Amino acid sequence: MIILYHQNNKVTQVWNDSLGEDIPVRLASIADTLFEAAQAFPESLIFWCHESQRNYFNKESISDIFHHKKIMAFYNPAKENYFPDTIGYIEESLFANPNKNAKYATWFASAAIGGISCEVMLRLEKEIVRDTDFDYFLHSLAKLWMPHGLLCYSEPRLLLHSDTGYTTTKASTKTVFKFVRQHYKSRWIFLLLFNCILHQKQWFLLPFFQSLFYGKRKTTGKVLDAVFVQSSRQIINEAAIDVIIPTIGREQYLYTFLSDLAAQKQLPRKVIIVEQNPVEGSQSNLVYLQNNSWPFAISHTFTRQAGACNARNIALSQIESEWVFFADDDIRVGEDFLETAFSQIAKYGNEANTLSCLQINEKTVFDAVFQWKTFGSGCSIVKTDTLKGLQFDQRFEFGFGEDADFGMQLRNKGFDVLYLPFPQILHLKAPIGGFRSKPELAWKDEKLQPKPSPTVMLYRLLHQSKTQLEGYKTVSFFKFYKHQSIRNPFRYYKNFKAKWAVSLFWANKIKNS
């Protein structure tokens, strides 16, 4: 383990912790020194540590945090981040609003303390710019490579405790515009300026014009493919798994999926089916559950309360195995699906995993394992221990956002959600889909219907910052324009504001219910 200590954007010491001796280096910029040390010790882990954090470095946590080579972890114990809240105007993802109380996927890196594999650093040597501003360098590295399989985490376990008195450097407005120009599509610097004027009454014209002279940073995204990954974590004991399936009116599709499960090389232990039919006096139509012989236990619950959130919560209370497969009733899987899925899960040592779920003739978009922005309630495999205390929030029932909200519940407990491109799930997208009986929405009598949906707004109120919500509002204003009939921009603006207000009213009402 190599530790690079630094202060005031300069290296103060490079220490070989394994041998207990200094390493002679040129002591150039921090980024240059990282690469120089990585070349000297290509099989090691390399860490950076601000001098003020030297005595708080929790070395006992290293083996658990860095359990495979594609992990970059860091922690900022300061209350403020390097980037100001204005970054939320153009970055609405969960990665830009990290929870500092638990391990959390983010590209909000920190110069306070962190580490990465030397092999990964060397793979990226020709792919990244060695900025003299070390915080900027780290943020750029994480932002560019998270989508390509570098797993980046804010990890409080790197320090013995978070109250260390560390003060982070703050990016200037010029730096924010520069970062947006270099890491986003060009239109985002215009949207950043527009949002700053609209919401902060700040005309950052000089930083805006200066940013136009910077080039976009690009990467092929392939150099990490050659890095071998095998987690040292043993998170699978017996690979016992239960499958939960909410279903309504899809008897034949469910039968086909159950047949796929029955043909698995590695069989599930139990299949938990929650059948819904809100029609008064209705009875179960799943006669084949009793009439056929199945190679796994089946737990069948019939309820007249419609709603996927309620159905999944009923199923969650019946899980007994070490793992659970959240499944839809209209999917198909190959006979080696569970076996291959567990081999991938063991490889990355991660407790929550969403798998590729494609429709017929739909092309694969992502071919690498990376940190997922949401959660698939019909295509995920999760370790049961992580689900303690969690439920699908029924405030989202009959709306949108329950999947993403459930994923956020997992992340706020310290469990990342990885996207696994293989094995793939085929989503038949049954024609009898969605809400079979139209729900009575609380806002159905509103003269002006809310836009966006109040449940979409609810998710953003629960999990996004103020600037992220304001940025989403601006983007929505432009996106919705081409999908509605009002062509007069002034009338459209008035209508948009009114619909947004209705959405916000109902989202807050749902939130407080």
Digit-coded pLDDT (tens) for 198-234: 999 999 999 999 999 999 998 888 899 999 999 999 9
* Distance in angstroms (rounded) separating the CA atoms of residues 59 and 64: 10
Residue 45 makes CB contacts below 8 A (sequence gap 6+) with 1, 2, 62, 66, 115, 116, 117, 118
The 10s digit of each residue's pLDDT in 258-309 is: 999 999 999 999 999 999 988 888 889 899 999 999 999 999 999 999 899 9
Q: Do 416 and 461 belong to one domain?
A: no
- Among the ranges given (11-25, 96-110, 308-322, 382-396), the one the predictor scored with the smallest mean pLDDT: 11-25
* Residue 355 in this model has a pLDDT that exceeds 50: yes
Domain presence at residue 157: yes
- Number of domains into which the chain is organized: 3
Question: Does residue 81 lie in a domain region?
Answer: yes
Q: What is the 3-state secondary structure (H, E, C) of 134-194?
A: HHHHHHHHHHHHHHHCCEEEECHHHECCCCCCCCCCCCCHHHHHHHHHHHCCCHHHHHHHH
Most confident of 62-71, 278-287, 484-493: 62-71
Average pLDDT, the chain: 94
CA 272, 277, 281: angle at the middle one, nearest 5? Answer: 125
pLDDT recorded at residue 474: 96
Backbone angle region of 290, left / alpha / beta, with phi > 0 → left and psi within -120 to 50 → alpha:
alpha
State the average pLDDT over residues 475-497: 92
C-alpha dihedral, 17 to 22 to 25 to 28, nearest 10°: 80
Q: Which residues contact 497 (CB under 8 A, 6 or more apart)?
A: none
Q: What's residue 436's pLDDT?
A: 52
364: Cβ–Cβ under 8 A, 6 or more apart, which residues?
Answer: 356, 358, 421, 424
Question: Does some domain include residue 368?
Answer: yes
445 in a structural domain: no
Write out the E strands in 340-486: 352-359, 370-371, 379-383, 417-427
- Return d(Cα 152, Cα 108) in angstroms, integer: 9
Point out the least confidently predicted range of 56-70, 207-221, 421-435: 421-435
Express each pLDDT in 121-174 by its tens digit: 999 999 999 999 999 999 999 999 999 999 999 999 999 988 888 999 999 999
CA distance 308 to 434: 10
User: How far is CA 70 from each of CA 218, 326, 348, 403, rounded to the nearest angstrom?
Assistant: 20, 27, 9, 27
User: Are both 461 and 421 inside the same structural domain?
Assistant: no
In a domain, 414, yes or no: yes
**CATH number, position 374:** 3.90.550.10
Longest dimension (CA), the chain: 81
- Per-residue pLDDT, averaged over 238-257, amounts to 95
Tell me: pLDDT of 499 over 70: yes
Query: Rg of the chain over CA atoms, in angstroms?
Result: 25
Confidence at 513, pLDDT banded by 50, 70, 90: confident
Burial of residue 461, with CB atoms counted within 10 A of its CB: 0-12 exposed, 13-18 middle, 19 or more buried: middle
Task: Please give the backbone phi and psi of residue 271, each rounded to the nearest 5 degrees, phi first.
Answer: -115, 120
Q: What is the C-alpha to C-alpha distance for residues 162 and 152, in angstroms, rounded to an integer? A: 19
413, 476: one domain: no
Q: What is the pLDDT averaged over residues 57-79?
A: 97
| pLDDT at residue 66 tops 50 | yes
Q: Is the peptide bond before 452 cis (omega within 30 degrees of 0)?
A: yes
Same structural domain, 37 and 163: yes
pLDDT the model gives residue 216: 95
pLDDT, mean of residues 16-44: 90
Asked if residue 204 is part of any domain, the answer here is no
Average pLDDT over residues 414-429: 96
Q: Which of 392, 427, 462 is the last residue of a domain?
A: 427
- pLDDT bracket for residue 429 (50, 70, 90): confident
| The pLDDT of residue 431 is above 80 | no
Which percentage of the chain shows pLDDT scores above 90? 86
Q: What pLDDT is recorded for position 441? A: 84
Residue 434 scores a pLDDT above 70: no
pLDDT of 311 > 80? The answer is yes
246 and 222 within one domain: no
Pair (120, 149) in one structural domain: yes
Residues in the chain: 513
Q: Does residue 464 sit in the same domain as residue 495? A: yes
Res. 510 pLDDT band, cuts 50 70 90: very high
Assigned domain for 208 exists: no
For residues 221 and 252, membership in a common domain is answered with: no
Cis ω before 423 (30° cut-off from 0):
yes
Cα separation, 495 vs 448, in Å, equals: 9
pTM to 2 decimal places: 0.94
Answer whether residue 365 is part of any domain. Answer: yes
| 371 and 463 both lie in a single domain | no
Dihedral pair phi/psi, residue 461, rounded to 5°: -65, -35
Residue 319 Cα distances to 130, 206, 376, 387, angstroms: 49, 58, 18, 10
Residue 95 domain boundaries: 2-172+217-226
Among 362, 392, 427, where does a domain finish?
427
**SS3 annotation, 277-346:** CCCCCCCCCCCHHHHCCCCCEEEEEEECCCCHHHHHHHHHCCCCCCEEEEECCCEECCCCHHHHHHHHHH
49, 143: one domain: yes
List Cβ neighbours of 498 (8 Å cut-off, separation of 6 or more). 448
3-state secondary structure of 210: helix
Helix, coil or strand: residue 395: helix
Q: Which tokens is 102 given?
A: 């638990």
Does pLDDT of 435 surpass 50?
Answer: no
Q: Do 137 and 270 share a structural domain?
A: no
Higher pLDDT, 513 or 296: 296
d(CA 249, CA 436): 8
**Is there a single domain that holds both residue 121 and residue 251?**
no
Average pLDDT over residues 71-82: 96
